[in-house]
Each structure stands twice: as C-alpha cells, then as structure tokens.
Amino acid sequence: IAYLDRTVHETDGEPKPNGGVSTLSKSIDLQGRVETGDKTTIASKDFGGLYSTKPLALIKPAGSDDVSRVIKAASRTPRMTVAARGNGHSINGQAMTNGGLVIDMRSTEENHFRLLNINGSLFIDVSGGALWENVLTRCVSRFGLAPRSWTDYLSLTVGGTLSNAGVSGQAFRYGPQISNVTELEIITGKGDITVCSETRNPELFFGSLGGLGQFGIITRAMVKLQPAPDMVRWIRVVYTEFDEFTRDAEFLVSRDDGESFDYVEGFVFCNNDDPVNGWPSVPLDPVHGFNQGIIPQTGASVLYCLEVAFHYQKGDHPSTVDKAVAGLLKPLRFVEGLKSEVDLSYVEFLLRVKRAEEQAKANGIWDAPHPWLNLFISKSDIVDFDQTVFKKMVKDGIGGPMLIYPLMRSKWDNRTSVALPDSEIFYLVALLRFVSRGPSVEESVAQNREIVEWCIKEGLDFKLYLPHYQSKEEWKRHFGNQWTRFVERKASFDPMAILAPGQNIFKRTHLS
C-alpha cells in the first residue's frame, strides 16, 4: 500500500496500474481481489451522479480477514484513506475516496445467512454486504419470516443503511432499521475484528449504527425477524389541506400496535397534469384513475397524498379485510372519493420501487443525476416548511417524488450516532430529484442549498438525513450536543480519526 500510495502521490494521482497490484495482494495476503485502473470505475461514482473521484484501488474482500488486513495495512500508511462501499447508492460521494482504497462489500454478500432462535426470538445473521432485497426474498421463501423495518427501495446493502438509519413506512412502529439489529461484527479503524452488541462493546455498537461508516466496516449484522404476512392492501388517499393531512398521519403513527395500518407514508404532489409530480403520479391502479373534478376549489398548487398499507393472510376472508381497512380509514378526513387501492403480495409490495426502477431504466431516466435532499424536521416546524418550501419553492415540482411522513423519536435509540430533531414526532422530508427534465443539476443543487439555508435562518429544528457536510463547523452544528461523544467514540476505534484543525474529521471517506 505504501508503494501504491507513493506512486499515486508522486504521479499526480494517476496510479501505475498493475505494477503495485500483485505487490499489494501478496504483501497483505489477500484472499479476495484488488482492482486498479479502469476496473475501479464503478467506485469512482455513485447514484447521485454529482461527484467523481478516482480511487487508488478497489478491494473485493473475500471476508472479514481481508477487510482487517487492508485496514491494518492502510493505517500504516499515513495519507491512505479507506471507504467501505455498499451498493454505491449514496448521493454525495459518501462511499468514495480520492486516491484511497474502496472496499467493495458486495463481494462478501454470500458469507453469512443463518437463522437464529435466541430464547424464542428469531434473527437472521447476514453479511454487511448483502442487499436487503435478497435478505427479504430468502427469508420469506425459506422461513416465511421477514425483517420488520425497511427502506422504500431494497437494492441497498445492510451495512450501507445501518450506517445511516434505514427508514420507511414501518419505522413509526418498529423504529428505523438501526433499532432492529442486536449484534454486529465490525472491523474497526485499527483493523480489529470485533463483535459488538448492546452489552458487548456497546460504544462500538451504538457508534456504528448511524455512524456514517466512521467507526469501522460492518461485516455481519443480526437482524430481528417476524412472521411475514402473505398479502398487503396498499392504499392512497388525497388531502387538499396540509393540517388535515398531518393530523391524520400523526394520528395513525401515534396509535397502539394493532390499532393502525402497518405502513404509513405520504407525499406532496402538484395540482396539475405533470406526469411525474402531478395527478398522474397518484393512482395506484392505472386503469381507475382519480376523478379530479371532485377536488374542491380551495385546492392549492400542491396537494397531499397519505399512503398506507394493511397486512393480511391469504386465508383471511375478503370481507374481514374490507371491514378492518374501512374501520381504520373511517376517522380520516381525506377528500371523499379520492381513494385508490391495490392488493399485492408482501414481497411485491416491498419491491415496489424496483418496478419503478425498471420503468425508469427503460425510459432512460434512472441514470440521470440525483441531487437529492433528505431532512428530518420537527413537528413544530413542519407547517412553516410546507408554507415556504412545498407551497412556494417547489410548487411546480422537482422531477421526482416529494416524500413527507411522520416518525416517532421514542422508537429510536439515543445511544446511536444519528442526529435527530428534538420533538417526539418529526417528519422525514425527501426531495428525490431526477434531473432529466426541468431544472438543471446546478439549479437543483442551488435550490437544495437555499432550502437548507432557509431552515437554518428561520431556526427550524431539523437535521440532514444522509448528511454530507464539508467543514468541521458544519459537522459540529449537525451533531450539536452529541459532537463530543461522536468524536471521542470515533477516536477510540480509529487512531487516525482526528485530523489537524481545518481538515475534515472524516479521514476515511473522500471528504477530507
């Protein structure tokens, strides 16, 4: 690594291909592979499509020992940076490193898949490099079981989402994905292979959950399971008034288990015919669209869609399902007649964004740049946010979904590294732009910045989700009173963690 590092820095970032590869593999006795040159292209970009940086090498480890050896070797080389790469679905280069080593965790996907029964509770022990979609299909088909908490899209790795949080419409009940793991194996920044849990190395366990890949590399995770339902009724209803939408969404997420839907999300859409952000984006059943004529004249430029789902078994009588769903919908104040629903299998429901991905790929828009903005915003500030951002700044749409749904802070564990707003109920807001039409990348990035700056100026209680700051001051503000804990924890697992003032704290990513 020292040899490769020297050649890179002495030749202006252009590594001499191949020469150092076999030296590298041999010197650290790697079982997996080392790729350089053109074969590292995949690691020089991500889903965001906003940044491109060339790594020194792409390591495809065979397992934990390889990861450990690479990190130990890297830590002996002062300037060497290391980044774990899950499926590269970050937006702002979080899994990249400029002139450093990218460890491709997908190569470890098959290393672990074991069902565990511990005192009657069921868990799946999976690789940090496994895709959630494979965890889902294998757990359901083999055991009739499934993890409890998901992301909307499942072509993401276990280690990648656990390094952030992992949220979707089940998080109001079970908490984010980081609230649903009980043990991790982590290769720390010192190269130690360490098993951790709430009681065993708890600082490493909680630090890594939501730890942005800064405490080490997650090679294995033990994920809680529950019996998988057979079927899902997926329902969308429309609101014209923001306060009625939020009242109902908050009502549903605050109810006890068994008294609410199994999934609660929502989104903002434009009151026009735009195929991406307007009325056509709302009905679940393309054959029976909505009758827009029902919309009251009070309907503003943007409207709100509450999206819920109800789990049931194939053997349940249709009238029982209808009755249960009708009972849950009864107290809600959506516009009468503006309801759309479909029944589908549980696996189809959880893989719903994969179908959208296939369509978007066919239309050539999936690979467009994605300057996405994800925020957590306190309930107390969400009305202001709606007034200024949804009703004014993005009222004409953004070329992709505009998600908004409430989450419950009490379902998150304060000991993890994730920074959250203060209030018990806070909203996930996601502006998921696909820059193939409408505003350019520059305009989209500028508008995202304008939104964040407005939130800061107005003193909103908010945090960036999937944060990507560049300066130490911004990171300090992000973590607030968790800053000291984060830095101390990180230092104890990664001897190279803290750099000189002015440099970025994140030695192990591209951010320095």
| Residues at the contact surface with ligand FAD, assessed by CB under 6 A | 46-47, 83-90, 94-95, 105, 128, 151-153, 156-157, 159-161, 163-168, 212-213, 217-218, 466
Residue found by looking up tokens 């949220």 in the block = 167
Q: Which of 89, 311, 370, 468 is catalytic?
A: 89
Q: How many CA atoms lie within 13 A of 86 on its CB side?
A: 28
Residue 457 CB neighbours (<10 A): 8
Looking at the Cβ atoms of 288 and 355, the one nearer to ligand FAD is 355
Least distance (Å) from ligand FAD to the CB of residue 306?
17
Looking at the Cβ atoms of 83 and 303, the one nearer to ligand FAD is 83
Question: What token pair was written down for 452?
Answer: 């964040």
**How far apart, in whole angstroms, are the C-alpha atoms of residue 470 and residue 453?**
15
Least distance (Å) from ligand FAD to the CB of residue 323?
31
**How far apart, in whole angstroms, are the C-alpha atoms of residue 163 and residue 177?**
10
- Strands ordered across the beta sheet of 373-378: 339-345, 231-239, 302-312, 263-270, 402-408, 425-431, 373-378, 462-464
Least distance (Å) from ligand FAD to the CB of residue 279?
23
How many residues does the structure list for the chain?
512
Looking at the Cβ atoms of 143 and 469, the one nearer to ligand FAD is 469
Least distance (Å) from ligand FAD to the CB of residue 480?
21
89 tagged catalytic: yes
Looking at the Cβ atoms of 91 and 270, the one nearer to ligand FAD is 91
Among 129, 97, 115, 138, smallest CA distance to 1 is for: 97
Looking at the Cβ atoms of 299 and 467, the one nearer to ligand FAD is 467
Q: Is the dihedral of CA 12, 14, 17, 22 positive or negative?
A: positive
Among 176, 185, 222, 181, smallest CA distance to 204 is for: 185
Among 150, 176, 151, 248, smallest CA distance to 408 is for: 176
Question: What token pair was written down for 475?
Answer: 């990171």
Phi and psi at 400, nearest 5°, equal 180, 175
Looking at the Cβ atoms of 196 and 335, the one nearer to ligand FAD is 196
Strands 101-104 and 57-60: parallel
Contact 400, 275 (CB under 8 A): no
Least distance (Å) from ligand FAD to the CB of residue 273?
25
% helix, strand, coil for the chain, step of 5: 35, 25, 40
> Hey, which bits of 181-245 come out as E strands?
181-188, 193-197, 216-227, 231-239
Looking at the Cβ atoms of 84 and 235, the one nearer to ligand FAD is 84
Q: Could you write out the DSSP letters of every residue in 106-148?
A: GGGGGG-EEEEEETTEEEEEEETT-BHHHHHHHHHHHHSEEES
Contact 461, 372 (CB under 8 A): no
Looking at the Cβ atoms of 217 and 237, the one nearer to ligand FAD is 217
Q: Which of 152, 274, 424, 474 is catalytic?
A: 152
Looking at the Cβ atoms of 247 and 354, the one nearer to ligand FAD is 354
Q: How far is CA 63 from the centre of its chain?
A: 24
Least distance (Å) from ligand FAD to the CB of residue 254?
21
38 tagged catalytic: no
Least distance (Å) from ligand FAD to the CB of residue 133?
11
Q: Which of 5, 248, 250, 265 is catalytic?
A: 265
152 tagged catalytic: yes
Phi and psi at 270, nearest 5°, equal -85, 145
Least distance (Å) from ligand FAD to the CB of residue 116?
20
Q: What is the largest distance, in Å, between two alpha-carbon atoms of the chain?
A: 73
Least distance (Å) from ligand FAD to the CB of residue 231?
22
Catalytic residue list: 89, 152, 265
